[in-house]
């Protein structure tokens, strides 16, 4: 009997070309599918809540797949972690209903972007932050965060996505942002954003625009019609995915 399995995955994204499988390149999806295929004895497609970019990290990505193997969820988690590289960990495994889709059933996602502000960035931080020691009006950036909250057309903040052609019925660029907050925590600026969905490069483009606001090049009081330069991927972490 087929079983629909939901997993929560954490990963350090530095050595991967993002979530989505790409021929000849290491990806999170490809790595997890290889392990599940070895357990199931056939190829198994693993679908995720979102396709994180190359270099992006995740504390709790959600994915799902269908198998026939009767292995108990806890044993499956242990088996997968034994076979996966140390940079990818399965935090939880559970059976779910047959039509569960981690992307289409998600009601909210939270991302965090970290900017390191001191002159010297410690090597142990380097992989997980964007080092930007230059002058910024941080108060203006914090004020500007609020203009992104609510329902908006984020076309200006979206990179071209091949799935716009594959899934034309899902090409709307309207998204709702529930919370958009920038805080100073010690030597870091931490941007946290929670919304009902995000477009390709959307969070990184918002951060790049906030940086332009901090430099005084973009007004802090209204949603810009053009985004700033895309912030580097390594500062971005997927924090959580929420479901009803």
Residue pair 66/76 in contact (Cβ under 8 Å)? The answer is no
> What is the rounded CA–CA span in Å between residue 150 and residue 85?
39
Residue pair 223/203 in contact (Cβ under 8 Å)? The answer is no
Tell me the two tokens of residue 49.
């809540």
List beta partners, residue 190: 114, 183
Closest among 100, 94, 69 to 1, alpha carbons compared: 69
**Long-range CB pairs of 136-139, under 8 A, 24+ apart, other chains included:** 136/189, 136/211, 136/214, 136/215, 137/213, 137/214, 137/215, 137/216, 138/182, 138/184, 138/189, 138/214
Active-site residue, selected from the candidate residues 15, 53, 74, 219: 53
Instruction: For residue 164, indicate whether it is catalytic.
Output: no
In the 8-state DSSP scheme, what is residue 61?
A: E
11-33 burial: b if 16+ Cβ within 10 Å, else e: bbbeebbbbbbeeeeebbbbbbb
Radius of gyration of the CA atoms of the chain, in A: 19
Tell me the two tokens of residue 34.
């290889």
Q: Which residues are catalytic?
A: 53
């Amino acid at each position: 009997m087929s079983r629909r399995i939901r997993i929560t995955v954490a990963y350090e994204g530095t050595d991967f070309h993002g979530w989505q499988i790409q021929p000849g390149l290491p990806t999170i999806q490809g790595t997890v599918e290889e392990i599940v295929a070895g357990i199931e004895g056939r190829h198994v497609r693993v679908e995720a809540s979102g396709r994180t970019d190359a270099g992006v990290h995740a504390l709790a990505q959600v994915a799902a797949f269908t198998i026939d193997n009767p292995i108990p969820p806890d044993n499956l988690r242990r088996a997968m972690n034994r076979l996966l590289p140390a940079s990818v960990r399965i935090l939880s495994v559970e059976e779910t209903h047959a039509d569960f889709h981690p992307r289409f059933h998600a009601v909210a996602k939270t991302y965090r972007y970290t900017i390191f502000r001191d002159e010297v960035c410690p090597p142990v931080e380097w992989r997980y932050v964007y080092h930007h020691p230059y002058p910024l009006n941080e108060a203006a950036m914090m004020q500007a965060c609020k203009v992104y909250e609510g329902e908006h057309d984020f076309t200006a903040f979206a990179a071209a996505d091949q799935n716009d052609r594959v899934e034309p019925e899902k090409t709307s660029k309207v998204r709702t942002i529930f919370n958009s907050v920038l805080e100073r925590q010690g030597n870091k600026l931490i941007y946290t954003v929670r919304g009902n969905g995000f477009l390709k490069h959307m969070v990184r483009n918002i951060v790049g625009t906030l940086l332009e606001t901090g430099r005084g090049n973009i007004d802090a009081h209204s949603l810009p019609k053009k985004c700033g330069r895309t912030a580097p991927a390594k500062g971005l972490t997927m924090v959580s995915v929420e479901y009803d």
